[in-house]
Amino acid sequence: MQAVIGLLVMMLGASYGLETYCDSRQDGAQCFGPLGGTVVLQLLDRAVQTHRYKLLTKTMIILNVINNKILSNDKEKRSSFNLSDGTFRLNNLSRTDSGEYNLEIREGIKITCHALRLTIQAPVSSVRLASECLSQGEKRVSCSSGGGDSPQYSWTLDGRSLTDAELQSVNTETNSITLRQHVSGIVACSVENNVSRFCGFTFIKCTSNETQISQWVFAANNMLCFEPTTPPTTISESSTVVDHSLLVCGVRAAVVVFALIGIAIYFAWKKKKYKKDEGSAYRPEREHQDESVVIVEM
């Protein structure tokens, strides 16, 4: 099972096909692209036939468009410009693609120019969580990421933010937190930067004798972090796995069966008693009627 989960994490951790979008129609836009991935720059609403467009850096012209015709594209092998929606797509991004870009729009003698800043970042590739029980039943959980430029860490407990009553301390240098004695549940660590996000989950519960009752880890590179629908299997101190859910379900089923049997017996008894009472009430009435008839005949 652990091997399957590890393989799944490796598959989800791949950054192939990662793509970001940036609206760069305003001057001074800050855009980010994933290293090895794709960035889509919204340069304008759409290309107008009577206008001339140039996308350039300080040293070279990247794109030159006149009358809705692309005259030149310096990055033609890994880029494309969509005339209908005004987007410029740049694939297989490298560190050298970072820098200042300028879009020059010429309409007759009128020239409009706005700049954008493109920064290429390595995406976060994985998340690892480590947890331990402390002497008084506190829980320390640390989080680390594989790769990624300028990662930012955040924590949640059962899908919500931690409160001061639950959080004992935070260490930003080691990216770890310490939870108070009474706290237990699903602790999630989210690691993200401007081009990617990864989440890891661990379920932990500690006792005062430093026993870690259970632990389970899940990771995924979805843009949103999803909580597991059920908690992990509890591991006892003797490392024997006990499926309490089956026991509970069995007890509940037995209670339901006995309840149904009791109800059936009760209604059967009531029905039998009703018939008996009905018979006893019916018979005297018939005898009285017979006696009345005899009296009339005399």
Task: Using the predicted structure, report yes or no on whether residue 245 has a pLDDT greater than 50.
Answer: no
Q: Which residues have C-beta within 8 Å of that of residue 139, sequence separation ≥ 6?
A: 131, 132, 133, 178, 179, 183, 184, 187, 204, 206
- CATH assignment of 19-121, given 3.90.650.10, 2.60.120.10, 3.10.129.10, 2.60.40.10? 2.60.40.10
User: Based on C-alpha coordinates, what's the Rg of the chain?
Assistant: 37
C-beta of residue 12 within 8 angstroms of C-beta of residue 219: yes
Distances from the Cα of 260 to the Cαs of 97, 223, 267, 271, in angstroms?
Answer: 73, 50, 11, 16
What is the rounded average pLDDT for all residues in the chain? 75
Q: Which residues have C-beta within 8 Å of that of residue 79, sequence separation ≥ 6?
A: 73, 88, 89, 90, 91
Q: What pLDDT score does 220 carry? A: 42
pLDDT digits (tens, 9 = 90+) for 120-160: 999 998 888 998 888 888 899 999 988 889 999 999 998 89
Q: Which helix (H) or strand (E) holds 245?
A: helix 244-297
**Residue 185: band (very low, low, confident or very high) from pLDDT cuts 50, 70, 90:** confident
Q: What is the Cα–Cα distance from 268 to 261, expressed in whole angstroms?
A: 11
Residue with tokens 């609403």: 45
Mean pLDDT of 221-226: 41
Percentage above 90 pLDDT, the chain: 42
DSSP 197-219: EEEEEEEE-B-TT--B----EEE
Higher pLDDT, 285 or 43: 43
- CATH assignment of 127-242, given 3.50.50.60, 2.60.40.10, 2.40.50.100, 1.10.630.10? 2.60.40.10
pTM of the predicted model as reported, rounded to 2 decimal places:
0.63
Mean pLDDT is highest, among 73-82, 229-238, 248-257, for 73-82
